[in-house]
Amino acid sequence: MKSIYMTGFMGAGKSTVSRLLAEEMGLAHHDTDEEIVNAAGKSINRIFEEDGEIVFRKLESEILHVLPKENAVIATGGGIIVSEENRIFMRRNGIVIFLYASIEEILERLKEDTTRPLLQGDNKEKAASLYEMRLPLYRETADICAETGGKQAEEIASDIKHCLKGAGLGHTC
């Protein structure tokens, strides 16, 4: 089976849902953010502070390209789809699932999270602007879209599994 790439805005549930889906399907699990931290030897916040977003995005693309292209569920960072090269790579090499929720719900989920460099300070407007800018990219890249708002992660993973097992592969955004 081709690898499954989980995309979506920060706080959409990619890491949690991808882990559950991998477990349910007996597949390996990878998280690009975790892989970046391991490769760089420092937190994402430190990468942004010390090296900048451009270096982070380069690392993100490099990690994406070395992860398995089969039998894995891969949680991607929220901005991975900004790169056209990454979008093409994921479409060519796997099944892309877009997890989404309203920006209001995402901001509520992330209000206490201090590990998101793009949300440091009072950046609700910046987050909403990023969300709106990225939304069309998530949709155009996705094979399957799954709403996460108001749902438990287990339910979302189960719904995705059923969609993958059936002939549910089609652009459903």
- The annotation places the binding site for ATP at 11-16, 116
Strand order in the sheet with 28-31: 28-31, 72-75, 3-7, 94-100, 144-147
Any idea how long the chain is?
Answer: 173
Detail the residues annotated as belonging to a binding site for substrate.
33, 57, 78, 134
Detail the residues annotated as belonging to a binding site.
11-16, 33, 57, 78, 116, 134
Residues sharing a CB contact under 8 Å with residue 105, sequence separation 6 or more, in sequence order:
149, 150
Detail the residues annotated as belonging to a binding site for Mg(2+).
15
CB 6 within 8 A of CB 57: no
